[in-house]
Chains A and B, each alone.
Chain A
């Protein structure tokens, strides 16, 4: 189902506002983004179908729903794309996301995203004053660190419980092997299809003997 362009435009406007607000309070990330100026990443989301394109400029990021010639194009479902954005060392094949164009842009973005650190004091001080904003900012940082650590713990424990205790899911190496085998099977099927098509196109040879 294709999303109405009005909703798509609203989403890109909101995302643009959020990204640039975060960058405004993180000079290091802003500088790193500036180095990507002129490049663009088109994300094609399926189910529901809509696009988000990040266009990097010297001081900010423009988000649109359309781009004629992006540097990199990603296509996948929302879950796979979120997984790709949040994980430090994940490959495209594990998420079901397809990519075209320069993949170095993806690695660079993943690096910037992992180092994003908003200066909450700077962001809050115009509204709350220096002392209160420092207290609130410290609280936010501590809370974020705590959530991050607990998140990693939960993920690790759940993984161990499911694979080692319950044997309900395969281990990572088993999954990798399975993915490789599926890839090989897909390639073999493609080759077989090509041969079949070639044979179909070949005109039948005339076997009638001349008497």
Chain B
């Protein structure tokens, strides 16, 4: 019997060292049409979820912000306006394709001088201790192989008093919404994915990975265990998405 450690990739169990490659394949496949798909899948509501995240971040001029799994740079764009020329925003993503799309898009929108791009693994962030005033990870944590390791890595690079914001799909708070959401994500979502990106498997993974992600209370406990203080969460759109906030003591 093999004693090789496994983790989940959607509903499948895969060896730990394979998950990152499999997730990378998903995002290589969808990178080009990622924004269009986000708008289609959420009806544009993902912009409101991100807007609320920015409001809660408390980021202001001169701050250093790390946008992990920043993908196509939605949050980085807003943060770059808030931190001004004295601040810095690092757009980080493990996936080269996503990062390339994000970097090009931000350059096209005139963001420069206070933004850098880094290909980085959330579990092993390549930054010195106590560097950032705020770290955000939006719709990225569920794809990380070892979430506890990633949370500890984020805690390390945050300044004392700095905030971590985790925006992620979560568990709907009403049974009715849960059922409607299940039907939508397992029936309609792969169909839209097939139509737009010619890749229904990636969107099947999306739906499965959301169900496998820890619910609100579990993620909050994980943040407390990692060493964050004042941990709390805000349910959005009935709990379909939750924003978790924690502070480095």
Interface residues of A (CB under 8 A from B): 4-6, 8-10, 12-13, 64-66, 68
Give residues 147-206 of B contacting A (CB, 8 Å): none
**With A4-B238, A68-B58 given, is the CB distance from A13 to B52 under 8 Å?**
no
Q: Are B55 and A6 in contact (CB under 8 A)?
A: no
Give residues 229-246 of B contacting A (CB, 8 Å): 234-238, 243
Chain B count of residues within 8 A CB distance of the other chain: 14
Residues of B within 8 A of A66 (CB): 52, 55-56
Q: Are B52 and A5 in contact (CB under 8 A)?
A: yes
Q: Are B55 and A64 in contact (CB under 8 A)?
A: yes
Residues of B within 8 A of A8 (CB): 52
**With A13-B51, A65-B52 given, is the CB distance from A6 to B58 under 8 Å?**
no
Residues of A within 8 A of B238 (CB): 4
Q: How far is the CA of A5 from the CA of B45 in the complex (A)?
A: 11
A interface majority secondary structure:
helix
Chain A residue nearest in CB terms to B237? A6
Interface residues of B (CB under 8 A from A): 45, 48-49, 51-52, 55-56, 58, 234-238, 243
Residues of B within 8 A of A68 (CB): 58
Q: Are A5 and B234 in contact (CB under 8 A)?
A: yes
**With A4-B236, A4-B237, A4-B238 given, is the CB distance from A9 to B55 under 8 Å?**
yes
10 residue pairs, one from A and one from B, having the closest CB atoms: A9-B48, A64-B55, A66-B55, A9-B52, A6-B237, A9-B51, A6-B236, A5-B52, A5-B236, A6-B48
Q: How far is the CA of A64 from the CA of B237 in the complex (A)?
A: 17
Sample 21 A-B pairs with CB under 8 A, ordered by A number. A4-B235, A4-B236, A4-B237, A5-B236, A5-B243, A6-B45, A6-B48, A6-B49, A6-B52, A8-B52, A9-B48, A9-B49, A9-B51, A9-B52, A9-B55, A12-B51, A12-B55, A13-B48, A65-B52, A65-B55, A68-B58
Known: A4-B237, A6-B236, A66-B56. 4 other contacts (CB 8 A): A5-B243, A12-B51, A65-B52, A66-B55
Chain A residue nearest in CB terms to B49? A6
Q: How far is the CA of A8 from the CA of B48 in the complex (A)?
A: 9
Q: How far is the CA of A189 from the CA of B56 in the complex (A)?
A: 39
Residues of A within 8 A of B51 (CB): 9, 12-13
Residues of A within 8 A of B236 (CB): 4-6
Q: How far is the CA of A4 from the CA of B55 in the complex (A)?
A: 15
Q: How far is the CA of A68 from the CA of B60 in the complex (A)?
A: 11
Q: Are B55 and A10 in contact (CB under 8 A)?
A: no
